[in-house]
Amino acid sequence: MDLRFTPDELAFRDEVRTFFRTALPADIRRKTELGQRLSKEDTVSWQRILNAKGWAVPHWPAEWGGTDWGPVKNYVFREEMQLAPAPDPLSFNVSMVGPVLIAFGTDAQKRHFLPRVANLDYWFCQGFSEPGAGSDLASLRTSARREGDDYVVNGQKIWTSRAHHADWMFCLVRTDPKAKPQAGITYLLIDMKTPGITVRPIPTIDGEHHFNEVFFDDARVPVANRVGEENKGWTYAKFLLGNERTGIARVGASKYRIQRAKELARTIMLGATPLAETPRFREKVADIEVQLKALEITQMRVVCNARKLPPGVQDPASSVLKLKGSELQQAATEILMEVAGPDALALQPEHLWGTATDEPIGPEWGPMIAPDYFYTRAASIYGGSNEIQRNVIAKRLLGL
């Protein structure tokens, strides 16, 4: 297997790099470089710039606004985006609900939703997890009872990221309580303005509002907003979760963090020696870089293999990407914490949001380090916890 890029792929990489250099608005680039949080408006405006170029949803079929790049160019595009560093388009839209609609939606649903999903006119959130139904998702209990042309939804979702920004939710509901757990689930698109929906924030350890609890109290959802067949939602959910997992390795993002740690460590003096030149720091960085290289090669292997698999079939090696990818993201943020030292300690949320009018305590990058470190702990939980990935690797890759 030849894992080198072809001349055509190298030319493509230069084109993409130049685009990110010129098209990414300076204020959004600055925020992403510093690790500051983006507002909803930042995310929307950047996705619309990408969409105007035809690059918001490159992995979708050309008919629905995608490209015919294939897996390698898609991979190059994603890596360059993370190295730029540019924000990712909203994954709930482009990697989750969009591909499900393309594969299983009706023509009317595709025509209505897909252009709005690509352009972020509709912001989607993911209503899968419930108290008591996370790793064991099939035990979910939120119910949908058919009444004429509507489903009447009752129950609770949890850990719903960005539900406070969302216009719509793609949601799993139980439509047949008597069937075996996987067989009685339906996939609905729910307008978040529907009466009977309450969104409550859950604050997190980084001092932010990422996710929410969502309650449904007799919320009426038109049957026309069901994706695919009633009671077949588990099939669509599995397809979606496979897509989610492959995107979680984020090799480019870890490379960017390590590069940044090295740059910042040159400015931190330990006596007369810059931190970057101490043997312990160099050893730690080298260890992560070697592992990142191995992960990158594994990712390329998965990308090359994807060409041979039937559409929608997931390579079990994507669990390795999720597992190692999340561990390395965490290791990279740990190095940054070491670099920052006491400068990471002060809680300065207005600097994180780029709304501060005063000077930060310490260097301008200091306030972003600890929140990034704390949030990245979640990478080993979301998208299927790492224990679950180890089970998949043991069974499907190692045959144990």
Ligand X SMILES: Cc1cc2nc3c(=O)[nH]c(=O)nc-3n(C[C@H](O)[C@H](O)[C@H](O)COP(=O)(O)OP(=O)(O)OC[C@H]3O[C@@H](n4cnc5c(N)ncnc54)[C@H](O)[C@@H]3O)c2cc1C
**Of 81 and 237, CB closest to ligand X:** 237
- Binding of residue 123 to ligand X (CB under 6 A): no
Q: Write down the least CB distance from residue 384 to ligand X, Å.
A: 6
Query: For the chain, give me the number of helices (H) and strands (E)?
Result: 14, 10
Contact range with ligand X by CB under 6 A, out of 121-129, 268-276, 339-347, 392-400: 121-129
Q: Identify the DSSP state of 58.
A: T
> Least distance (Å) from ligand X to the CB of residue 215?
14
The residues facing 216 across adjacent strands are 155, 197
Name the strand (E) or helix (H) holding 51.
helix 40-53
**Tokens 């509002």 label which residue?**
209
Q: What is the end-to-end Cα distance of the chain in Å, rounded?
A: 27
126 binds ligand X per the rule CB under 6 A: yes
Considering only 47-55, 119-127, 173-181, 252-260, which stretch makes contact with ligand X by CB under 6 A?
A: 119-127
161 binds ligand X (CB under 6 A): yes
Which residue lies nearest ligand X, judged by its C-beta?
134
Smallest gap from Cβ 105 to ligand X, in A, equals 20
SS3 call for 86: coil
Q: Which is nearer to ligand X, 164 or 262 (CB)?
A: 164
β-pair partners for 202: 211
- Check if 244 is active-site: yes
CA gap 29, 314 in Å, rounded:
34
Figure out which of the listed residues 134, 184, 242, 247 binds ligand X, where binding follows CB under 6 A.
134
Of 91, 93, 129, 376, the one binding ligand X (CB under 6 A) is 129
Distances (CA, A) of 134 to 96, 190, 273, 381: 17, 20, 48, 10
152 binds ligand X (CB under 6 A): no
330 interacts with ligand X by CB under 6 A: no
Could you say whether residue 381 binds ligand X (CB under 6 A)?
yes
Catalogue the long-range contacts made by 263-267 (C-beta closer than 8 Å, 24 or more residues apart).
Answer: 264/336, 264/339, 264/340, 264/365, 265/339, 267/363
Check binding of 234 to ligand X (CB under 6 A).
Answer: no
The whole-angstrom separation of Cα 370 and Cα 69 is 37
Q: Report how far residue 382's alpha carbon sits from residue 379's, in angstroms, rounded to the nearest whole number.
A: 6
Give the residue from 183, 173, 177, 292 showing the smallest Cα distance to 221.
173
Residue from 79, 80, 244, 296 carrying the catalytic annotation: 244
- What is the closest distance, in whole angstroms, from the C-beta atom of residue 391 to ligand X in the complex? 5
One-letter amino acid of 211? F
Q: Which two tokens stand for residue 288?
A: 């992560």
What is the x/- site pattern for ligand X, positions 168-207, by CB under 6 A?
Answer: ----------------------------------------
Nearer to ligand X, 248 or 265 (CB): 248
Q: Which stretch binds ligand X (CB under 6 A): 2-10, 47-55, 102-110, 376-384?
A: 376-384
Closest CB 263 distance from ligand X, rounded Å: 28
Task: Tell whether residue 159 is a contact of ligand X (CB under 6 A).
Answer: yes
Asked whether position 155 contacts ligand X by CB under 6 A, the answer is: no
Amino acid occupying residue 167: D
Q: Is residue 106 close enough to count as binding ligand X by CB under 6 A?
A: no
When asked if residue 378 is in the footprint of ligand X (CB under 6 A), the reply is: yes
Q: Residues 6 or more apart from 122 whose CB is under 8 A from it?
A: 93, 113, 116, 167, 168
* By the rule CB under 6 A, 277 interacts with ligand X: no
Contact code string over 207-226 relative to ligand X, x by CB under 6 A: ---xx---------------
Residue 93 vs 160, nearer CB to ligand X:
160
C-alpha 32: how far from chain center: 15
Nearer to ligand X, 5 or 382 (CB): 382
Using CB under 6 A as the binding rule, whether residue 391 contacts ligand X is answered as yes
| Residue 215 burial class via C-beta count within 10 angstroms: exposed 0-12, middle 13-18, buried 19 and up | middle
CB-based contacts of 79, cutoff 8 Å, min separation 6:
251, 252
Contacts of 208 (CB under 8 A, 6+ apart): 37, 349, 352, 371, 375
Tokens 């990221």 identify what position? 161
Q: By CB under 6 A, which span of 24-32, 279-287, 350-358, 382-390 interacts with ligand X?
A: 382-390
Q: Which residues are at the interface with ligand X (CB under 6 A)?
A: 125-129, 134-135, 159-161, 210-211, 378, 381-382, 384-385, 387-388, 391
Q: Which are the catalytic amino acids?
A: 244
